[in-house]
Amino acid sequence: MSQITASTCCYCGVGCGVLIEHDGEHILGVQGDPQHPANFGKLCSKGATLHLTGDLDARGLHPELRLGKGLARTRTDWDCALDHAANVFAETIREHGPDSVAFYISGQLLTEDYYAFNKLARALVGTNNIDSNSRLCMSSAVVGYKRSLGADAPPCNYEDIEQSDCLLIIGSNMAYAHPVLFRRLEEAKAKRPEMQIIVVDPRRTDTCELADLHLAILPSTDVALLHGILHILLWEGLIDRRYIDTHTEGFDALKSLVHGYNPQMVSELCGISQDSLQHCAMLIGRAPSFLSLWCMGLNQSSSGSAKNSALINLHLATGQIGRPGAGPFSLTGQPNAMGGRETGSLSNLLPGHRDAGNAEHRAEVAQYWRVDSLPQSTGLTADFGERDRSFR
Ligand code: SF4
């Protein structure tokens, strides 16, 4: 007899809810969950064909063990496989210490799984060598959020997309990378055509089809563009002085920083006209609510954290944060990258937005986990395997 199990699509960061029809052994079909707040029943072609990848023929159904690199894998049972893995870890730790092992965990894990791996690595093994896909995907956004807002937590939700008056999509081909969310934006724009959409991308992607303004800047000139927009907003008096005085610090330093980014210089650097730069700044500065969406075009860059900070600064300077339809909203690549970061799945983090480098935070978590202490040594990162100092 067929049954329905509610779950989440494992592919992209939209996090669509799915209803899986199965008979307890075989997946018979997958549909969008009409009650789910991310997608309200919609799925893209990847999500709609999930059941094909869940086919028994395509799945590993039992553990296999290879006792030497030159040997073939042979079938084993779960007890043997788990004992083997635990013994290899234990022997390595006994011989070479806790920092001789490391965990690299996936953005497809559930939040509870992330938490359990963190506890295993830090409290039981005693190493901070635990990192996740967020290192390669979202670490620039993490730095931007922490540096500008004090916490790695996007201050927006999907409903803001429908409520915003002006959206800036920068470094994201959302139509391809986050298709169901893009459909949601298309519907919102169809209902409220006055909603202004700006796309910043050196390429003319399908996302640009929805744009009122497309700025095809030269690659790697995003920081100059964002500073140039703030320069114009300052010049035009379109900043929110009351918000700045009440909620921010260091604004004078930012003002000095963007002072030199005049429209002529920025238009030359970015390869766009001064008119389009001015038009973009006016759309943002005059919008009752302003939301920005970005993805790997900003994050996966040698200056990714500077790009994130420059964008968040724009929101802080205009007070466009912390109210409906406004704020900086990073689009993540993997379905539960944020769940991983909330449970401490970067080598420098601890659960609950705490830092592994902070003695007070370590003591709090150690007490909660009922261990004497947590490791102090800086954990290895997944990108270059270097000891991470970037977030400290
Ligand atoms: S938009 Fe993303 S989460 Fe939704 S169905 Fe497609 S791949 Fe899955």
Q: 93 vs 45, 86, 88, CA distance in Å?
A: 45, 11, 9
Average of per-residue pLDDT across 80-104: 96
Question: Which of 39, 108, 334 has most ligand 1 atoms within 8 Å of CB, for mutation?
Answer: 39
Ligand 1, atom 1, lies closest to the CA of: 180
Please give the structure tokens belonging to residue 339.
């769940």
What is residue 363's predicted lDDT score, i.e. its pLDDT?
A: 98
Answer whether 295's CB lies under 8 Å from 178's CB. yes
Is it the case that residue 392 has pLDDT exceeding 60? no
What is residue 332's predicted lDDT score, i.e. its pLDDT?
A: 87
Q: Is 144 exposed, middle or buried (0-12, 13-18, 19+ CB in 10 A)?
A: buried
Answer whether 374's CB lies under 8 Å from 362's CB. yes
> What is the sign of the dihedral through the CA atoms of 228, 234, 240 and 245?
positive
Please give the structure tokens belonging to residue 56.
């028994």
Give the residue carrying structure tokens 């997309």: 161
Q: Is the CB of 40 under 6 A from ligand 1?
A: no
* Percent of the chain surpassing pLDDT 70: 97
Q: Is the CB of 18 under 6 A from ligand 1?
A: no
Ligand 1, atom 4, lies closest to the CA of: 16
> Which amino acid is present at 359?
A
Is it the case that residue 56 has pLDDT exceeding 80? no
Q: Is the CB of 50 under 6 A from ligand 1?
A: no
Is it the case that residue 388 has pLDDT exceeding 60? no
> What is the sign of the dihedral through the CA atoms of 51, 52, 57 and 58?
negative
Higher pLDDT, 28 or 165: 165
What is residue 384's predicted lDDT score, i.e. its pLDDT?
A: 60
From the CA of 206, how far away is ligand 1's center (Å)?
17
Nearest to 151 by CA among 387, 357, 349, 335: 349
CA separation for the pair 338, 340 (Å, rounded): 5
From the CA of 350, how far away is ligand 1's center (Å)?
29
What is residue 25's predicted lDDT score, i.e. its pLDDT?
A: 83
Ligand 1, atom 2, lies closest to the CA of: 12
Torsions phi, psi for 349 (to 5 deg):
-105, 165
CA separation for the pair 8, 50 (Å, rounded): 11
From the CA of 108, how far away is ligand 1's center (Å)?
13
Q: Is 45 exposed, middle or buried (0-12, 13-18, 19+ CB in 10 A)?
A: exposed
pLDDT tens for 164-176 read 999 999 999 999 9
Q: What is the number of other CB atoms lying within 10 angstroms of the CB of residue 71?
A: 9
From the CA of 187, how far away is ligand 1's center (Å)?
17
Q: Bridge-partner residues for 327, per DSSP?
A: 291
CA separation for the pair 84, 200 (Å, rounded): 51
pLDDT tens for 248-302 read 999 999 999 999 999 999 999 999 999 999 999 999 999 999 999 999 999 988 8
Average of per-residue pLDDT across 341-361: 93
Atom of ligand 1 nearest to the CA of 18: 5
Ligand 1, atom 6, lies closest to the CA of: 44
Question: Which of 12, 49, 161 has most ligand 1 atoms within 8 Å of CB, for mutation?
Answer: 12
Ligand 1, atom 5, lies closest to the CA of: 47
Please give the structure tokens belonging to residue 266.
């920025």
Is it the case that residue 391 has pLDDT exceeding 60? no
Higher pLDDT, 110 or 190: 190
What is residue 59's predicted lDDT score, i.e. its pLDDT?
A: 78
Domains contained in the chain, CATH given: 3-58 (3.30.200.210), 146-330 (3.40.228.10)
DSSP-assigned states of every residue in 287-305: -SSEEEEE-HHHHSSTTHH
Please give the structure tokens belonging to residue 188.
């919102």
Average of per-residue pLDDT across 355-372: 97
Q: Is the CB of 331 under 6 A from ligand 1?
A: no
H-run or E-run covering 111: helix 111-118
Q: Look at 118-122, 169-173, 301-305 and tell me which has the smallest mean pLDDT.
A: 301-305
Atom of ligand 1 nearest to the CA of 48: 5
- Residue 107's pLDDT band, with cuts at 50, 70 and 90, is confident
Q: Look at 47-61, 148-162, 355-369 and tell me which has the smallest mean pLDDT.
A: 47-61
CA separation for the pair 8, 131 (Å, rounded): 23
Answer whether 201's CB lies under 8 Å from 173's CB. yes
- Residue 333's pLDDT band, with cuts at 50, 70 and 90, is confident
* Sequence-distant (≥ 6) Cβ neighbours of residue 208 within 8 angstroms: 199, 201, 214
Q: Is 52 helix (H, G, I), strand (E, B) or coil?
A: helix
Answer whether 152's CB lies under 8 Å from 390's CB. no
Average of per-residue pLDDT across 374-380: 93
> Which amino acid is present at 331?
L
pLDDT tens for 207-255 read 999 999 999 999 999 999 999 999 999 999 999 999 999 999 999 999 9
Question: Which of 7, 8, 9, 174 has most ligand 1 atoms within 8 Å of CB, for mutation?
Answer: 9
Average pLDDT in the chain: 93
From the CA of 53, how far away is ligand 1's center (Å)?
14
Average of per-residue pLDDT across 365-383: 93
Atom of ligand 1 nearest to the CA of 8: 3
Q: 359 vs 146, 153, 259, 373, 376, CA distance in Å?
A: 18, 22, 39, 10, 8
Answer whether 184's CB lies under 8 Å from 158's CB. yes
CA separation for the pair 138, 336 (Å, rounded): 12
Atom of ligand 1 nearest to the CA of 179: 1
Average of per-residue pLDDT across 102-119: 93
